[in-house]
Structures are given as C-alpha cells and as structure tokens.
A and B are shown apart, each in its own frame.
Chain A
C-alpha cells in the first residue's frame, strides 16, 4: 500500500543546533516533493519544493534533500531559533494532488 511517513515523535532541540526532519514514502513515484510549515490553528505555508532530478535545495537556513533510491527526503534547519517551532509537513506529488505526511512537531528551546 502507499504510505508517506514522518517522525511521529516531536523533535526537541536546543537553539542554535541543526534540526533534521525525515520523510519516507513507499509505492509512490513523485516527480517532486514539497515541505510546508504549519502553526497551531493556521493553514500550512509553503517552504520549499525539490524535483526528482535535484539532490539538494537551499533557501536561507533551510536545506532539503531528495533521494529517490532510498525514497526519502530530509529537511534541515540550521542555526535553529525558537521561532522555528512548528509542525513541518512533507507532501509529494501524486498526479493532480498532493499527498501529505502527518507532520513532525519541532520544538526549539532557548
């Protein structure tokens, strides 16, 4: 069956460290994958998109990798700040629609 999985447990890290979030999928062949941020009571906000032929994408303190052999994407936030605390969702393309993971809660402590 098709699955998209993110770390189910919250990730707690110290301010200034690098946070790494994982997204694994099975039985999908996405042409691209996206990462979103969601704060409590709000809609998701787009962060980054990476295509299947791209190994890595960067935007300011964010970095995404996409390994189609491992069927995995890693999302990194360097020099993390308390304001980065949120739920991070990965989403992969499946034809006309996006399929979302359940999200990983990130808590950055000062």
Chain B
C-alpha cells in the first residue's frame, strides 16, 4: 500500500508566478490536511478537506491561496502570484476518517523556493 504521495518534491518559481502542489492520499483515505513548515518552525495547519468539501480553512491565508480535493484525482494546493515569503516546505497528510484520534500519515513534502 503506497503512502501519501506529493509532487513535485521541489518547485522553483519566480515572484508573481503560480505554484501548484499535488497530494495523493493513501488508498482508502478520504481526508486530507495541508501544512506549511518554515525553517526552524513547526508545522502550521492550513486547510482540512474531505472529498469535494473544504471542512476547515482557518489556517489558510485569505488571498492567493486555495485548495481543492476533487472527487477524482489528487488534492491541489494552489498559490497564485507567489512572493518570497511563500518559500517553505508544504506537507500534506491523509487519514481514513475525520476523527480527531485518527492517525495522520504525512507525505514527503514539496519544497517551494520563490526567487
């Protein structure tokens, strides 16, 4: 059973471009979480999605960031008009259900560098 897949692993963008990060959850998992990790800082929650629904986006910046988890295909985190401050590692995690005690399984992350 393959784990959580994220691609690309590394992404370089120039200021003003768009970044698209993909996350394929573990087989059978219908809940996806996105986190951002800055150097020397902990993981910061961004958004929690279930298939076709955003459950909690309280950690998502109000502008330029959006996320989706369509019925078919991977979850996408989209950052429009990137700025240098967006440079970070972005991790997604999946869980089989939405219970708070469900273990979250993390992907290897996408490291975004904005030039």
What is the interface of chain A, defined by CB distance below 8 A to chain B?
A: 4, 31-32, 36, 41-46, 49, 51, 89, 91, 93, 95-103
Contacts and interface: CB of A to CB of B under 8 A. Distances in A.
Given A41-B108, A43-B108, 16 more contacts: A31-B100, A42-B108, A43-B4, A43-B109, A44-B43, A46-B103, A95-B100, A96-B55, A96-B98, A97-B45, A97-B48, A98-B45, A99-B45, A100-B45, A102-B41, A102-B42
Contact of B101 (A41, A44, A49, A96): A49
Interface in B58-115: 58-59, 91, 93, 98, 100-101, 103-109
Interface of B: 4, 33, 35, 40-45, 48, 55-56, 58-59, 91, 93, 98, 100-101, 103-109
A35 to B, nearest CB: 12
Contacts, number: 59
B48 A100 contact: no
Contact of A44 (B58, B100, B106): B106
Given A44-B43, A44-B91, A98 B55 contact: no
A91 B45 CA distance: 11
Given A43-B4, A44-B91, A100 B43 contact: yes
B53 to A, nearest CB: 12
B103 A97 contact: no
Residue from A4, A46, A91, A97 having most chain B Cβ neighbours under 10 A: A97
A80 B44 CA distance: 29
Q: Lowest 8 A-B CB distances belong to which pairs? A: A43-B106, A100-B42, A102-B42, A96-B56, A100-B43, A97-B45, A93-B100, A46-B103
